Amino acid sequence: MRFTQFTPYDLVLLAQGLGVTVGLFLLTSLIGLLAGTVLGVVRYYRVPGLTQAVTFVTELLKNSPVLVQLFLVFFGFPAFFHLNVGPVQAAVITLSANTAAFVYVIAVSAIESIGRDQVEAARVFGLSRWQVLRHVIAPQAAAFSIGPLTALLVNQLQVTSLISVIGVMDLAKIGATLNLRTLKPFIVWSVVGLLYYLAAKLVAGVGARIEHRLRAHSAFRGL
């Protein structure tokens, strides 16, 4: 006999699933932000050979489905290279790499948006390329990139639902489990969708607040 009634323990399961989703989102976002920023700096210095390789890899990651990347990392590479990759490891690797690819694009666009006259003026005053990057380009690029980064992170939060297909017990996987037990898809998926929505609104709200503070203290106030 199938037990189709909801229990208080179901709320605990949903909370655990939400915790896994948020935890993986924060970890992969942090890794992706750091990696993407470093790749953007590599592009700024135009390192021969390395710049072309970075561009090629990021193009592959940006223009292929995340689900295909996930299957490659979890099923394809381990079988081909005889590796042992768990579901959580595959999720972290895939989501971090995918986030880094898009952060790279945003970082490059933000850096290139800074007027060349500012860079040339800084070099005239004797600043090195690293000092120009740190004191002139980075603060302004950060102010301009927060908006696109916030939109990217909101999207990446939703993309985390794909990791349920390889067995990670995230919010989407818990929702699927509860749906099979209760046979009440409207209620289950409405609750799951609401939790994703609230998490996304929180990310968007934090991003908007950071953007407001950065723009208030940048040279581009009022734009």
How would you write the pLDDT of the chain (223 residues) with one tens digit per residue? 456 788 888 899 999 999 999 999 999 999 999 999 999 888 887 878 888 899 999 999 999 999 999 999 999 999 999 999 999 999 999 999 999 999 999 998 888 877 777 777 776 767 777 787 777 777 788 888 888 999 999 999 999 999 999 999 999 999 999 999 888 999 999 999 999 999 999 999 999 888 878 766 654 444 3
pLDDT tens digits for range 183-203: 899 999 999 999 999 999 999
Model confidence, pTM: 0.88
Q: What does residue 113 show for φ and ψ, rounded to 5 degrees?
A: -75, -15
Domains and CATH numbers, the chain: 8-216 (1.10.3720.10)
- Residue 122: phi, psi to the nearest 5? -65, -40
Nearest Cα to Cα of residue 101 among 165, 154, 54, 158: 54
Positions of E strands within the chain:
none
Q: Terminal CA-to-CA distance of the chain, rounded, Å?
A: 64
Tell me what pLDDT residue 222 has. Answer: 42
Cα 96 to Cα 32, 90, 124, 206: the distances in Å are 5, 10, 39, 20
pLDDT at 220: 45
Using alpha carbons, list the distances in angstroms from residue 106 to 8, 37, 110, 142, 152: 43, 9, 6, 10, 9
